[in-house]
Amino acid sequence: MLSVQKIACANAAGFVMNFDIKYLDNNGQWQAVGNSGNYPIDQTHILDAAALGVPVGAIMNAGVHAIAGVSHDGDTLVTFSPNGQTATYNVQGTTLIYSVHLNS
């Protein structure tokens, strides 16, 4: 599993979106932290898990929210490590049908 400090989402979709970092806590529950704020197509925003208090070693994902649409999680989980690395998810589609794919 890829270990990263930051999660980025590149908006290549036909809608305005925002995202948060979701992480699995010690009780096995998903917690959402931070929010990128709304942004349009052709922009990328980044959230830093270290600044948001995510525990080292936690399993993380991007939780993407299409404005006037649905929410989807990234297709690949990553783990948090304070190593300065970034996982970038590419968001493509329309408000109701879209993908959140981790770039390889």
Give 16-34 pLDDT, tens digit per residue. 999 999 999 999 999 999 9
Going by C-alpha positions, the residue among 49, 47, 48, 65 that lies closest to residue 57 is: 49
Give 23-66 pLDDT, tens digit per residue. 999 999 999 999 999 999 999 999 999 999 999 999 999 999 99
Supply the pLDDT for residue 104: 64
Domain of 78? 3-102
Residue ranges in 21-102 assigned as alpha helix (H): none
Instruction: Provide the token pair at 27.
Output: 């009780």
Kindly report the CATH number assigned to the domain that includes residue 25: 2.60.40.180
What is the tally of structural domains in the chain?
1
Q: Are 73 and 87 in contact (CB under 8 A)?
A: no
pTM of the model as a whole: 0.96
Going from the C-alpha of 35 to that of each of 1, 27, 44, 104, the distances in angstroms are: 24, 23, 13, 24
